[in-house]
Structure 1
Amino acid sequence: MDEAYSRAVKIALRMLFRRLGELVPTEARLKPKVASEDIQRRLGTMVEGLVPSGWQETALRELTARTFVLNFQGAAAALETELSSGYVGGDTTAWHILWVCFGDYGLTPKEIKMPCDGIANNFAHVRWSSYETRDPYNDVVVHEAAHLLHYLKPRHYGLPTRRHQERFVDVDFRYYELFAFACEAYSRVVQHCERRSRISFAERMPEDASSFPRSQMEELAALVLKAALARNGWKVIREATVIRRIPMPAKGLTKP
């Protein structure tokens, strides 16, 4: 029964995507999807700064391949990827892709609200209008790909595992959003070559950043500035957000 339902949902999604696509302006419909080279360029610094060296090549490859920017062509590719990955129900990522994409073209029903800039689970999906942001501290591609870092497991790619580290970055679930926001903002900070310029840019974040939740701005801006001041800013972000492991007692030792 579930399999039959999933097949029916996939047929409906593909048909609805085609029908709504006919209403998208021709220029927008023909605009190519964002190149993987652009996505990889945005993610390279983060991966190099956060992921152990032996895992970096695989992590960057997987993050690049799993990240989609949802203009019409990108959404078509993302939708097919999600539909091919298994069961699809009535409230799954595939539906979110549909409405996020067509919402940017004014084709979403009024009762459907999709205010998010992106979605991340097995794949990362970025709203087209958010990709073209004017906020100098914002990069939703980095934000959503950062979530993939704490979802994906190196052992699934045949990589040698590290003791007490299950994922590419073992982020504490309480800090998932802080981690992703810090990654995107700091990825903008490090684009400034001079240290003084990086610090100055980070200091202006509370006033100049427009797309981050104000409720988290104080904590986020403090972390980004601390990273800008440090010799290794990515290490600062990682240490502020990862799971704290409790040291195991050595063999032969017992508690008093």
Structure 2
Amino acid sequence: MGTRDEVRHFLSTGEHDAHCRVWPGDRIERERRAHEELRQALVVEVQRRTATLAAEERLRGLDIVPLTRRKVEPMVRGLFPASEQGAVLSLLEKSVVFLTPANIAQVLLESSWLSTAWDLANLYLLSVGVELLGPEAPQLLGLSEHTTCYVSLAYFDEASPFADYLVHEAAHVFHNCKRRTVGLPETRRREWLLDIDFWKRETFAYACEAYSRVLEAGSNRQARIALAEEYAACAAPSDERVSVSKMAELVREAAAARNGWKHILARCAPPTRAVTQTSATEVTTTARRHGP
């Protein structure tokens, strides 16, 4: 297999030889050349598939920072003490990137991992209605890497009353970001912004997403409880990482609680503090929903 074959394989699958053996040079040079060529090939292919698209109008004149702050502020106010809310809000309000024709090339070239770049390419292609790169390509609406939340333009077309994947991806930042990154004091027991069980991270993000919509639409406790029941009855996230029944139960409990955010966090906390969290470089994704 030569470099052309390796490029074709990467474009259709997102996979590549970690040792980059078909490229010339020593190990460091092989990796440098391979990563550069694979990224450039990805950009060229995405641009080829979207060459006839018109300029994106939905973001024209839109200030993303206040939009993001408005969406995430209730979650931050509910999850963090007053002394920490400002620092967390300052982080999140600048964390959201909508993938557009204007920025997709730069995003693909600068993302940390090749696999992430491939996922982001497919997220973008899906959002503009273009064929994905391969049959196994994920159908994503959002993806979080470090403290950046990449969001599909489909966000502005979402019809579900309980969907808000900007909030979903922002919720993932809490377990991806260390406290010292935003200038908050850190201890051995408090290293990350929030202590969330590894196996419940998607449950936490989906619950925050649905609960944010319940709060936004429900003006009082009775209305919020009714909305939570409506959420439980409609199509739930088609994501094998979460239990539909547990999700519905958690949103119901949050809607009835005095501080639903704290209830969600408590239900998604590690069983003991001895559980070790994974690296802050973890990439998390929001799968495409197939329901209302």
TM-score under structure 2 length normalisation: 0.72
Per-residue deviation, 1:137: 1.1
Moved more, 145-154 or 14-23: 14-23
Per-residue deviation, 1:81: 4.4
1:101 aligns with 2:124: yes
1:22 aligns with 2:51: yes
Q: Secondary structure at the match of 1:243?
A: coil
1:41 aligns with 2:70: yes
**Is the CA contact 2:164–2:209 (under 8 Å) kept in the aligned structure 1?**
yes
- Cα distance in structure 1, aligned partners of 2:210 and 2:71: 12
Alignment correspondent of 2:262: 235
Task: Report matched runs for 1:100-179 at 5 Å.
Answer: 100-109=123-132, 111-112=134-135, 113-122=137-146, 123-162=148-187, 164-179=189-204
Q: Which runs of 5+ in 1 are unaligned?
A: 248-256
After superposition, the C-alpha distances for 1:13-52 in whole angstroms (9 at most, x for unaligned) are 333344334221x2x5354376222122111111111133
Per-residue deviation, 1:172: 0.3
Task: Report matched runs for 1:188-227 at 5 Å.
Answer: 188-191=213-216, 192-209=218-235, 211=237, 213=239, 216-227=243-254
Q: Which runs of 5+ in 2 are unaligned?
A: 1-29, 275-292
Alignment correspondent of 1:59: 88
- Cα distance in structure 2, aligned partners of 1:84 and 1:246: 35
After superposition, the C-alpha distances for 1:73-111 in whole angstroms (9 at most, x for unaligned) are 4xx26x52463355x43xx21222222212233322473
Percent identity of paired positions between Structure 1 and Structure 2: 29
**Is the CA contact 1:21–1:29 (under 8 Å) kept in the aligned structure 2?**
no
CA shift in 2, pair 1:52/1:151, >3 Å: farther
Moved more, 201-210 or 186-195: 201-210
- Cα distance in structure 1, aligned partners of 2:38 and 2:239: 34
Q: Secondary structure at the match of 2:90?
A: helix
Give 1:169's aligned amino acid: L
After superposition, the C-alpha distances for 1:106-157 in whole angstroms (9 at most, x for unaligned) are 3224734332222222222222225521111111111111111111111123
Q: Secondary structure at the match of 1:190?
A: helix
* Aligned-residue RMSD, C-alpha: 2.6
Q: Secondary structure at the match of 2:56?
A: helix
After superposition, the C-alpha distances for 1:38-70 in whole angstroms (9 at most, x for unaligned) are 122111111111133333222222223222233
CA shift in 2, pair 1:51/1:163, >3 Å: farther
- Cα distance in structure 1, aligned partners of 2:70 and 2:273: 36
**Is the CA contact 1:189–1:202 (under 8 Å) kept in the aligned structure 2?**
yes
Alignment partner of 2:42 out of 10, 13, 20:
13
- Cα distance in structure 1, aligned partners of 2:117 and 2:221: 43
- Cα distance in structure 2, aligned partners of 1:63 and 1:134: 24
**Is the CA contact 2:179–2:185 (under 8 Å) kept in the aligned structure 1?**
yes
CA shift in 2, pair 1:160/1:2, >3 Å: same
Give 2:118's aligned amino acid: W
Give 2:134's aligned amino acid: E
Alignment correspondent of 2:206: 181
Figure out how many residues of one structure are paired with residues of the other and give that number: 239
